[in-house]
Structures are given as structure tokens and as C-alpha cells.
Chains A and B, each alone.
Chain A
Amino acid sequence: MQVFKVYFQIIKNNIPILMIYITVFIGISMAFSTSGQSSDIAEFTESRAPVAFINDDNDSALIKGLMEYAGEKSTIVEVEDNQEALQDALFFREVEYIIRIPAGFTERFMNGEATALEKTSIPNSTSGIYMEMILNNFLNSANHYIKYVNGITQEELVAKVTTDLTKETEVVISDYESGVANGSGMAFFFNFAAYPVIIILIFGITSFMLVFNDTLKKQRTLCSPISHSRLSMETLLANLSFTVIVWAIMLTASFVMLGKELLSINGLLWAINLFIVAIVGLSISFLIGSLIKNKNAQSAVANTFTLGLAFLSGCFVPQSLLNEAVLSVGRFLPTYWYVRASDEIGKLKSFGWESLQPVIFSYLIQIGFAAALICIALVITRQVRSGSVRQA
């Protein structure tokens, strides 16, 4: 396995360059994951607005009940009952809502007559709206009992309304029983991952090919008793091993970044997609390696080609934001189908044949691209080989 050994020796020499791409990828992914954190509220704490009650009526059971209920949802503040003191309290935000219970309110309410509380609040205050909802809840419920239960006393009314309003319904979010919660975010991560995977493979594989296919070294190897098929086999094995290593590194980075959510069918599909694009990267690298002749060309071609692929395919910018002309060109690139599969996987909630079809279709197109690129590279390699022998 001499060729296999020397392959990884050459790769070892290129580790600093490869590490730059891995670091940049992880750095950018971390930056995105931090800045793009979801603003969804995970926890809820009831806010309690400061409220003042001015009671011009008597201290009836109804009014006591109302104040008790309101007191559970807000903080009741004592304020002196004169115009100036009340306005000051509002201005300095000592209270956000003042409720004045007019004289005769209890009697009129219990008789089912029209009556209203007087309310003063800070303009555009959300606390005011919230407080209004609380009062309406209580009084509407009470109104229903008065309407439909004849002869109900104030104590009974308050007890029934309070019981009704303290009832809670448990809400369970069951949307994501299957599939992943942050599908589009994860898809974005995997879309971006295609860029470092491809460029690392191009740098690694072309570095080996540049060194190994150098005419002089090639001649020396051809003078030895190692057969051409063994040479090809060892090279292929080394290329595949390197591809698997790069894929495994990126997948590990994905686990570190995205966590346990990847342990799902979506995660498996993304991993397969990433592996297929790595094979595409291998075939692209093989093609570029058979065309370029020196290190300068390697750097220029690798960067230009990979950036072009990434921009036209939607690795950096979501495909939904790309215009139709760009997408039309993108359709002829394997990475377009990688991104498309990745986006589809992000949306998957069920995993039947129907839902998986577009993903598998994109997989197959990528594999087709890889096979075509390898064939072209083999034709070029054969021509270059016969040409170089003639020149020797």
C-alpha cells in the first residue's frame, strides 16, 4: 500500500490549508447560529400591572369579588381620590389603570340593568388592554349567571364566576411529533456545508494528483513492478478514504453545532445527502486534478470553481431568494440538487414514499453528475497520459 501511504503523507502536508476551511466553516456556522436564534417565546410569566380601584358604591360582595379577582392578575395600589393625585399617579406610572366604580353599580348590575365602570389608563398601554380583558371576563361571566340563574345571590355569583375563571386548559404543542423542529435552520447549515466539503476535497485530492502525476515520478513508478490496476486501486481507495474522513469530520461538526436533533430520520437523510455531495466533490476534484499542472492553478481553480458552484446553487443564499435566471443555470450543477434535497429534508414531517420522492430524485441526479464527471476525467487522464509518454 505504498501509494496509499504516500497519499496521506501528502495530505498531511496540506493540513494547514484544509484546517483553514474547516475553521472558517465552523466559525461562520456558529456566527449564524448565534445571530439567527429564534425569537419564539419558550417561557411565559404573567405580568402584573399596577391598578387603582376607586369605589363610590358600597362594599358589596360583587365588588369585593371583582377586586379580589383583579388583585390576582394585577397589583392594586392605594391612590388618594382627587383629580390631581390620580393624574400624578398615572403620569409617574405609579398606576397604569384606574377603575372607578360608580355609586349604585352593584344594584344596577344585579338587576341586569346597563351600567359601566369608569376607566382611565395611560394612552396605548398594553397593561390597560390586558386589565380591560380581565374585568370583561369577570363581568361578562357574572352577567350570564344573572341572566340565566334566577335569584342568585352576590356571594353565589362571585363563587361561581371565580371557579369558572380559575379553570385552565393544558395546551400541548403536537406539531413536531415527527420531523425536526428547526428544519429550515438545519437545512441552511447543511446547504453551507457543501462548500467546505467540496473545497477541502479539491485541495486534498488535487494536491496528491499534482505531486503523483508529475511526469518524472510517474515514470519512476511505471518502471517498477507495480501494475497499473493496483496503482489505480490504491489511488481510488485513498481518495475514497479521504472523502469519508472529510464527510465524517463535517458530520461530527454538524452534531456539535446542531445537537441531538440530528438523531432523526431527517438527520440521516442530511447525512446521506452530505455523503453524496462529497462523492460529487471527489469527482470534481478528480476532473480538476487531471486538468491542472501547478499549485497556482490549483488555488485559483479550486476557489473560483467552488465559490461559483456555491453561489449559483444556493449554498450561501437560499434558493428561494435567487432569481430565476440564476436558478436556471444552477439546475445544471450538482450542488443545486444537493441544496434542493437539503431544503426538502428540512420540510419533511412524514417519511412515506410520496414525501421522500423529491429527496431521492435529487440524490439520483447528484449521483448522475458524479458519474458523468468521473467519466470525463478518465477520458482526459487517458489523453494526458498518452501525451506525456510521447513527450518523455
Chain B
Amino acid sequence: MEICVKNLVKRYGNLVALDHFDLEINQGEVFGLLGPNGSGKTTAINCILALLKYDKGTIDVMGKPMSPDAYDTKRNIGVVMQNVAVFDELTVRENIDYFCGLYIKNKKERVGLVEEAIEFVGLADYRKFYPKKLSGGLLRRLNIACGIAHKPKLIIMDEPTVAVDPQSRNNILEGILKLNREGATVLYTSHYMEEVEQICSRIAIMDKGRIIASGTNSELKSLIRTGEKISIEVYGMDSKVIEFFKQLPGVNSVDYTDNKLTIKSQRGKNNLVSAVDYLKSNNIEFSRIYSELPTLNDVFLEITGKELRD
């Protein structure tokens, strides 16, 4: 097991940031830690990296207890922080070389690794650029290169795609999967459920310092009652119509807000045709219709009663 956290408690005064937090990550996984802002993801990561002292619990990384002086363990960890942490005074190449040099003493070996990292994040044309000359997306890529240049076995990424354009985001996500294919275990935190769904083999959902659900993407979705979500843009609908939809078989909830009708029903109950037939036969004007499977947001919503991005 790469990371094993048991019963972790971290308090900031009266605020409980981590409340008996448990986490187990196996070797070779891309593990997603999903939760809204302030749910305790970064605190958990800082505790795992021994950057923060905690009040209770145990943390083992690569089978050994984690502590500030666990240098052998740290040698195998790569960290990509939420905020870009690079030196404005150094060029792209010098920055990667500096951070890689904290792990790899051999200069010859380091030269190869730095070049590989530059190619990996697609910064080959910006080697001699200073960070201030880079766009937000390129800066994020540099931030990632600084964290992974030494080829760590365990990579911890704390929201690496915040404020990144879609193209750079896709590059970053593809890069993470590539690192995983090359043998790295990845702990990935985000509040973007789509990203987590896209790349993570297992996911844990956090709220208020606790893991409230964990498993694979489908395991998490099977935890909730909703199996289908139908959304229809409808204009001028009265309460009688809403009542009709509530009577359809297996419907869990019906919501009509801002001309958007949302019908959530249990797994295996396909009510799309019935809904459209009813609207047509009653001459109710409608435009876009789409049916979708539940998202992790729905999982979070059903468990906590609030949206992931609240």
C-alpha cells in the first residue's frame, strides 16, 4: 500500500479540519480525492507530506511512518501543489533543474531527467523563458514538471488544474495518465468532478474533513437512488403537469426551475419516451431534451444535500 492514513484528526483551534480521516491508496492507482473547497483536501495532503503536525492518527507512506525527516520516503514522492511554486528569478530549465536537484545529486542523470520533464509537459520551446513570461497554463505545466522531473513512485497533485484553460487541462490530465502508465501511483485532489471521473480508478469524496464515500466511479454512483436524469427545457408549465411526472414509475424527484424540468428516476426506469409523449399530447412547448447518467455531483448532492461547488 502506497498511502495508509488512519483516524487522522487535525484541528485549527476550534475548527476540526480533519475529522477521523481514513485513506488507503494502493500501488499503481490514480486515486481521486474529491470535495468542495474547504473540505480538508489540502490539509490532508499537507499532513501526509509531513508539512503539518496533526492531533491524532497515523500516516504510513510506502509502508513507513511519515515524518519530516523520512528522507528515504520523500525521495520517492513528487509533489505538485495547488499554487504555482517556482522561482521567478530562474528560467524554465533552471527551475526544473533546481527542484529535480533536491532529489537527484548526479548532474549527468539530472540533465536527462530535466530534458525529459520539459518534453513531457510540452515546454521545449520555453526552456529559457522566465516564469513571468509564461501564460497561466504554461506556468501550471512548469509547476508540474518541477514536481515530477525526478520520476517519483508516488505523485501527489493538489488541484493542479485550477485556473487552467481547457487545452492545457487536457494536456495535464493526459500527462497524469501517462505517468500512471509508467508506474507511478497518483493521488489527485480536485473539486472538478469531471476530471476525477475522467482519470481516477478509485475516488473518495470528502466533506467537512471526513471521507463520506469511496470506491470506483460506478460503485459511488450505485450508492445513490438516482439512475437516470432527464432534463427538458419547457415553457409555461403548471403544477398539474409536475404532478403527472411524479406519478411516472420509479421517479424519485421532479424539479421545475428557470424553464428547466429535471426528472430523476431509479436505475433501469427509462421515462424519457413517456415524458416526451405527454408533453406532445398536451401541446406543451418544449425544446432541448437530454437524458444523462448521474454524476459524482449527484452522489455528493444526495449524500450531503448540497452541490459539490457550493
- Determine whether B1 belongs to the interface, using a CB cutoff of 8 Å to chain A: no
Contacts of B99 in A (CB 8 A): 220, 224
Distance in angstroms from B289 CB to nearest chain A CB is 47
The listed residue (A6, A214, A220, A222) touching B146 by CB distance below 8 A is A220
Q: Is the beta-carbon distance between A6 and B90 smaller than 8 angstroms?
A: yes
Distance in angstroms from B16 CB to nearest chain A CB is 15
Q: Is the beta-carbon distance between A217 and B46 smaller than 8 angstroms?
A: no
**Beta-carbon contacts under 8 Å, A115-134 to B:** none
Stretch of B48-56, B166-174, B264-272 on the interface side: B48-56
Q: Is the beta-carbon distance between A216 and B98 smaller than 8 angstroms?
A: no
As a 0/1 sequence over residues 186 to 225 of chain A, the CB contacts with chain B under 8 angstroms (1 = contact) are 0000000000000000000000000100101101111111
As a 0/1 sequence over residues 35 to 54 of chain B, the CB contacts with chain A under 8 angstroms (1 = contact) are 00000001000100101110
CB-nearest residue of chain A to B84: A216
Q: Is the beta-carbon distance between B89 and A220 smaller than 8 angstroms?
A: no
Distance in angstroms from A242 CB to nearest chain B CB is 15
Distance in angstroms from A85 CB to nearest chain B CB is 87
The listed residue (A9, A214, A219, A224) touching B74 by CB distance below 8 A is A224
As a 0/1 sequence over residues 36 to 78 of chain A, the CB contacts with chain B under 8 angstroms (1 = contact) are 0000000000000000000000000000000000000000000
- Determine whether B129 belongs to the interface, using a CB cutoff of 8 Å to chain A: no
- Determine whether A232 belongs to the interface, using a CB cutoff of 8 Å to chain B: no
Q: Is the beta-carbon distance between A13 and B71 smaller than 8 angstroms?
A: no
Q: Is the beta-carbon distance between A227 and B49 smaller than 8 angstroms?
A: no
Report how far A13 CA is from B131 CA in the complex, Å.
Answer: 14
Q: Is the beta-carbon distance between A389 and B51 smaller than 8 angstroms?
A: yes
Contacts of B89 in A (CB 8 A): 6, 9-10, 12-13, 211
Q: Is the beta-carbon distance between A221 and B102 smaller than 8 angstroms?
A: yes
Contacts of B74 in A (CB 8 A): 223-225
9 additional contacts (CB under 8 A) given A211-B87, A392-B46: A5-B98, A9-B90, A214-B85, A219-B81, A220-B81, A223-B79, A225-B71, A227-B71, A389-B51
- Chosen A-B contacts, 19 in total, with CB atoms closer than 8 Å, are A6-B87, A6-B89, A9-B87, A10-B87, A211-B88, A220-B79, A220-B147, A221-B102, A223-B49, A223-B74, A223-B79, A225-B72, A225-B102, A226-B102, A228-B69, A389-B52, A390-B12, A390-B52, A392-B42
